[in-house]
Structures are given as C-alpha cells and as structure tokens.
A and B are shown apart, each in its own frame.
Chain A
Amino acid sequence: MNLPVNALLFERLRRIVGPRRLLLGTEQLRPYECDALTLHKAMPRAVVLAESEAEVCAVLSACHALGVPVVPRGAGTGLSGGATPHPDGIVLSLARLDRILSLDAATCTATVQPGVRNLAISEAAAALGLCYAPDPSSQVACSIGGNVAENSGGVHCLKYGLTLHNVQRVRAVTMQGEVIELGSSGPDAPGLDLLAVLVGSEGMLAVVTEVTVRLVPVPRVARCMLASFATVEDAATAVAALIAAGILPAGLEMLDQAAARLVEPHAHAGYDLDAAAILLCESDGTAEEVAEEIERMSAVLRGARATRVRVSVDEQERQRFWAGRKNAFPAAGRAAPAYYCMDGTIPRRHLGEMLLSIQRMEREFGLRCPNVFHAGDGNLHPLILFDDADPDSVRRAEALGAAILAESVRLGGTVTGEHGVGLEKLDSMCLQFGAAELAAFEGVKRAFDPAGLLNPGKAIPALHRCAELGGMRVRGGALPHADLPRF
C-alpha cells in the first residue's frame, strides 16, 4: 500500500465527510470485510459513510482523481460478494442515505434514498393502501439501492415482476462524480434505455442516490394452497400445467422431501412429509378473483396427479403454510455447520430432470442438498449442507455448487436468477458467455466508467480468467467431474 497516497486520500475524504464518518483501522473496518457471502473477505483502505448525494459526488471525484477503486455498499445482505471490498480501494456506504423522500398516491410512486430498506417502503405506503411488490427474502434488512444493483426478485415476481419492472427512475453518480438521471417520472425517457442496463449492474456502472419505485394496490385477499406429489416429476408437471392453463399464481414455490423434512420440526407448517415434493400455490386479488382462481388451480393440480390438496382456511393458516418455506434457510443453518445457497434458473420444463441430477451429485460429492425453489420462475435454491471447519467439505461444497450451475447452463438456463454474479460466480460466467459477449460487457462498463474504478473485478470475468479455466478443463481431470457436459 502506498502510504503517501493513503495520507492524501484520507485527508481528502476527511474534508468531505469529516473525521467521524471516515472509518479507518482494523477494528472499524472489520464489519465491512464481507457481505452475506462470508466465503470471500477483504479489508478496504477505508470506509466512508456518505449522508448526501453531494458527498457521494465529492467522494467519487476524489477517488477518480487519485485512481482509487470504490466499492458501493448498501445493507451488505448480498449473497454473491458484490460488496466485498477491494483491497486497494474504499467502501462507500450508502446506508445513511435512508430517507423516504415522497409517497404519492396520485402517481402510485415512492421516491426514496438508496439506503431505505425494501420492507420500509411497503410499511410507509400501507397507509395509502399501496405496497412495493418485489419482496426478496431479506426484505426486512436489504436496501432498495442494493435491490437496484442486483435486480432482486422474491416470491411474487412471476406475477408482479422483478426490481426492473417496478423501478421508474433512478438518480445516480458516475465514477467521474457526475449526476445522471435514468428513466423519468413519466413512462420512459429519451434515447437509449440506460435504466434497463443500470438495474442489475451490481454497482459497477454508477452509484445510485435516489430511486422512484412504482407502488401497487395491496391485494384485498390472499389464500394459499398446499399440494402433495408422489414424485418430483409430477410436481414439476403440475407447475407447467398451471401456467399452460393461463394461471399466474401470486406465488408458486416447491420444496422437495428433504427440504420439507428439514423445516417441519421448526416451523410446524403441517407439510406432508410422505410426499416426494410439495407445492405452495398462492392466489391474491379481490375476494371474487381469488375464489375463482383457487377453483381453477385446484382443478389443475388434481388433474396433474396431486395426491393431496389443501386450501388455507384463514390468514393464520396461510401464514403457517408460508412459515415452512420461509424457514428453509434457518433450518439449513441448524441442520449442518454451514450451508451454501445456489441460485440457478432453468426452463421450467426441465425441473424434474434438474432435481434428479442434483440427487446424483449429492451421492457423487458426499453432501446433502435439500431444494427449495421459486418453481414458477424456474429459479432454484439448492441448499448445500457442509462443514466449514473441514477444508475438504468446503472444497466439495464449492465443487457441487459449480456443478449445479454448469447443469443449469446445459439445460438452457442461467448461473444466477436473482443473487448476482459478484465474486462468487465469475468462473461460472465463463460457461454461460463467450469471449464476444464478455468483451461487449466490458464495453458497457467502459462507457459508464472509462477508468474502471467502480467496483472493479466483479460480475464480469476477465477474458484471461476464462481462458485459464478453459485450459484447465482441456487438461482433463484437473477440474472435478470432467464427465459433466460443458460448452
């Protein structure tokens, strides 16, 4: 580390935010060494706690002038290492930009600062009978700025869309310290759609300082169904049958038997533990709509060989049905010293095949892997149970994860549905994209950040990294499971 540069950098940052909001030294920096992906850790030079857009501009200009990398950070709940610090850079925390600037029932929008928690928007909008639809599982803690960076989903996105579909306008600051507005208060904006490319860009194109989200009316009624199946293939077929019947459930989740047995002792959800797989299927809307849809969904599920179908009789029972699904991650945490959550998406018609592949991989790698997933979107969250104190177990867990992602790509899917690439899936990206596409991504990055200082090294693997991996693959046997189809 270059000490004169450090001294100069700290002096400039101190002039912008004062001494109390410039964090230095191991003790102060430790809480920022990783996000929710704890496998990757690094110490930044400093952490800056910004409190205004003007400070964000000044910090970015200063770092740009000194050639210092900047890693933006919201609540730090990301699962792919998108906010892992850069050892030569600083972390720019947006957590203190946490004000709801306006709520407008006339336009059904809320304008908020990036550090506002996802759930806080819906809580504030409830008085207007409105809510913010995307609901990632971390919604109690995760911030809207992070949601924009990751294009976060949730259990309701089959019906209500992702972050992208629910964000109308963003103010952001480029690495050069210039404010830009993407989208508008109207339905669109002139020229190329920069908002579409900023959403999901993992904090690598610009730092978000203000977000206008669309709000939707809170559904008047919601009811949930629980359907049991004798095989996972039957459950997967039922999902396809629902969609083919023209039904878009508000939530459509699947748990395999291992996952149901994992959560039931804690959640007492009343899951059928003899079923090979269960589906949670939710309908929301007006009372009339819900009654009509539940009727249609029951008929389809029974026609698709459900062995048992139950409909929640009241809100309490609906909450209990969901409690099992929502407890999957904590239950995994109790069942093993550690768990590793994957995030591939595949075309729905391959769900059955994918689950059989995962069962084969469990035997191959000697690890358990219960499955919960957003079945309606084909977005899988296999939970790999392992022992983080045992290096061999860690190695096998990472190898099993990579094998699942490779299988997702082989089945025509993607390595990440909603958690982002971050640092975690850089190698898997090489399976999904060729050199030409990766070069185009680099081009997009350069158009926004010519100096390459904003969250560098995330999301898009360098070409030489993929080439080296390819070389390893060719040498054969150097990578685990050379028998897996790859391209």
Chain B
Amino acid sequence: MDAAVTDLCDVVRAAAAAREPLRLRGGDTRHWLGGAVAGRELDLRPLSGIVSYEPSELVVTVRAGTRIDELEAELAARGQMLAFEPPRFAPASTVGGCIATGLAGPRRMARQPLGGAVRDHVLGVSVIDGRGGLLSFGGTVIKNVAGYDVSRMMVGSFGVLGILVDVSLKVLPRPVEEATLRFECDAGQALEWLRTWQARPLPLSGSVWCGGELQLRLSGASAAVAAARRELGGERVEATSWQALRDHQHPFFAGAAPLWRIAVPATAPRFADNEPELIEWGGMQRWLRSAQPAEQIRAWASRHGGHASCWRGGAPFMTPLPPAALAIQQRLKQQFDPAGILNPRRLFAEF
C-alpha cells in the first residue's frame, strides 16, 4: 500500500485518539447536501487515478479521489460507461463523492443491464475506518457472497462509516443506439403512460416530465430502439437535455426556493397541482420546489410508501428513522467509527 494511504491511516488514528471530527471532501461539489460537518477538512483528492481496468471483465478499480469525468472518458474510449449515470454537479466531482452520496442519474430507471442504482454496480471497496484501519470488502468479480456485503453498505453512507480509498465498479457496454422522444401531456397522463410502458419489454433508459412535456430516452440494440419508437410514437428530438438533467443544471433546479427529493412508487399521484415539480425515473423520483412544512411533505411521501429528503431549504436532510432501525444504524456507526469522528451528523442529527 502506498505512502499516501498509510499517511491517511495515521491521520485518522491521531484524530480518533484526539476525538477530533473530520470533514471528508473530494471535489466538494456536494458539501451543501446533508447536515453541515464541523470538523477539520480532510482533502481526499490526492488519492486519485485508475488502479486497474479490464474492459473484457466489465470492471474498473479506481481511487476514490478520481474525477468522474476523467473516469468516464477512459471508459468511453473502450465503448463502456457507468450505467448509473451519476450526477456531477460540477467537473470537480469525484468517484468517492458519487459513491458516498449514492446518487444516480436518469439511467437509474432502466432495468438491468441498461442501468440501475449506484450500489447495483459496486463490486468492492477499500476503506479506512474510524480507527485508522484499512479494510477491503468485496472484490472485482460480479458474483461474490463471501461475508456481509459491506461494500454496498458504503454507498450512500455519506462518509459516516469510513473513508473510501479504492472502489471497484461494474461497467457496462454503451448502448449501440439511443433516441429521445417528446410528448406533450400533463403530469397525470405522463405517470399513467410511464406505468404502462414500464410493464412492457421496452428499452427505456430515462424519463423526465416537467412543465407539460414528457421526454423519454430509449437505449439498446438498433432494432430494439427502432421497434420501441414505432410502438410509442411521440416526436423524435435531439438528446440535448439528459446531461443537464443528470448534473442538476436543468433550469428547474435554479433559484433559492426549497428543493425536495421525493422517492416513491410510480403509482403515487402528483404532490400538488400548483407546486413546481419535475418527475424522473418513470415516476419514482420527484423533485419539488415547495415551501410547504417539512412534516407535511414527509407525511405525504410516507403515506405513499416512500420518503422525502430536503436538498435545500433548512429542514433536516433525511426523513427520521423508526427507533429500531435508528438503533441498528447507530450501532453500525459505533462499530465502524467508535470515536464518532467521520463526518459527524452529516446524515442524521443522532450520529
């Protein structure tokens, strides 16, 4: 293991002994998401670069401080991609930040093997825990059930369990063909269509409804995309909007109004007709600009089987957990970071 990593282990060990909180940062493009961390800044960008890449294995192992755009350029050169299409917010965004926040882009709605969630594509990690120990979980093979799946638990953990050093990711071939279709419709109609289409063998790889317009992305074999276009109709448009949507550069995300992310089943209705809303993932991810009280938004999401997180606007980041689940999460934190020094209270006020 190289000096940069052993040095980092020493830093963490010293911080744990002194009970000094650390604020983990990569590109720092997501620091505004979640609770503010009061602590000494630990810059993880020096841990960067591709460790190994075997296109025929569909696996890349990368240092967590590597920029997402740099990794994606390497993959694209071999006709491959990160199928979870992570948001980058800004070019400085790193793989570590992407894994730690667990955020996926428009391709999240696609079925295997066209897309999926971030954790669906994580095969292994090396992490430094809160004691300064370097641990390795998972590996570089697709099927692996030896030991608990700690590597996937790191996805979306916001750095509270450990510092990501290396990440092994499953990568996928880029689709041969893509097409974007446009439909004019209200939200109710869009949700109804999306529900019907999801149950058919169509190569859907992105959907967004906003302001009376539904856009749909198709990806796959040329024949499959052509057949789906015939089946769905709509107007074919240039696929310009997906990158902006993915990186939250879509005009909907601009401005100071509170921003909520609501994760619900596709069958949930629209939150309110008079509140600005952007609907993604076939109806499973809703973005809401609403000044309604947090309790009301959260209660609505829970009632429909999901949850709401506050991205901008001052309410606590995550929906509070029921006591039994909170107790397990607190004990996990205690096991991995007994001194409580890694990104304290970034995820929940309790830890």
Which A residues are within 8 Å of any B CB, using their own CB?
Answer: 104-109, 128-130, 133, 150-151, 153, 157-162, 164-165, 174, 178-182, 184-194, 196-197, 199-201, 205, 216-220, 240-241, 243-244, 246-248, 285-286, 288-289, 291-293, 345-349, 374, 377-379, 412-421, 425, 429, 432-434, 436-437, 440-441, 443-448, 450, 459-460
Give Cα distance in the complex from A244 to B171, angstroms. 11
Known: A107-B267, A200-B148. A159 touches B141 (CB 8 A): no
Known: A130-B199, A180-B324, A441-B148. A186 touches B143 (CB 8 A): no
Q: Is the CB of A292 within 8 A of B222?
A: yes
| B75 → A minimal CB distance (Å) | 12
Please name all residues of chain A whose beta carbon is closer than 8 Å to the beta carbon of B147 when the two chains form the complex: 421, 429, 432-433, 437, 441, 459-460
Q: Is the CB of A196 within 8 A of B335?
A: no
Give Cα distance in the complex from A437 to B136, angstroms. 7
Give Cα distance in the complex from A263 to B304, angstroms. 51
Residue with the greatest number of chain B CB neighbours at <10 A, chosen from A162, A184, A219, A240: A184
Q: In chain B, what residue has the closest Cβ to A80?
A: B145
Give Cα distance in the complex from A374 to B143, angstroms. 10
Residue with the greatest number of chain B CB neighbours at <10 A, chosen from A157, A160, A194, A420: A194
Q: In chain A, what residue has the closest Cβ to B319?
A: A190
Known: A196-B149, A437-B137. A240 touches B56 (CB 8 A): yes
Q: Is the CB of B149 within 8 A of A184?
A: no
Q: What per-residue 1/0 map shows which CB atoms of B28-64 lie under 8 Å from chain A? A: 0000000000000000000000000011111100000
Give Cα distance in the complex from A193 to B264, angstroms. 16
Please name all residues of chain B whose beta carbon is closer than 8 Å to the beta carbon of A293 when the two chains form the complex: 221
Cβ-based interface call for B134 (8 A): yes
| B79 → A minimal CB distance (Å) | 6
Q: Is the CB of B284 within 8 A of A164?
A: no
Q: In chain B, what residue has the closest Cβ to A158?
A: B142
| B31 → A minimal CB distance (Å) | 19
Known: A192-B329, A437-B135, A437-B137. A186 touches B305 (CB 8 A): yes
Q: Is the CB of B141 within 8 A of A192?
A: no
| A446 → B minimal CB distance (Å) | 7
In addition to A189-B307, A440-B336, 10 A-B residue pairs with Cβ atoms within 8 Å of each other are A159-B113, A165-B112, A186-B305, A188-B117, A194-B153, A288-B227, A289-B221, A345-B144, A437-B137, A448-B328
Known: A108-B199, A243-B57. A185 touches B150 (CB 8 A): no
Give Cα distance in the complex from A217 to B265, angstroms. 18
Known: A240-B56, A347-B141. A443 touches B335 (CB 8 A): yes
Please name all residues of chain B whose beta carbon is closer than 8 Å to the beta carbon of A289 when the two chains form the complex: 220-221, 223-224, 227
Cβ-based interface call for B285 (8 A): yes
B284 touches which of A187, A379, A414 (Cβ 8 Å):
A187
Known: A160-B113, A191-B321. A444 touches B329 (CB 8 A): no
Q: Is the CB of B139 within 8 A of A413?
A: yes
Q: In chain B, what residue has the closest Cβ to A152?
A: B145
Q: Is the CB of B156 within 8 A of A188?
A: yes
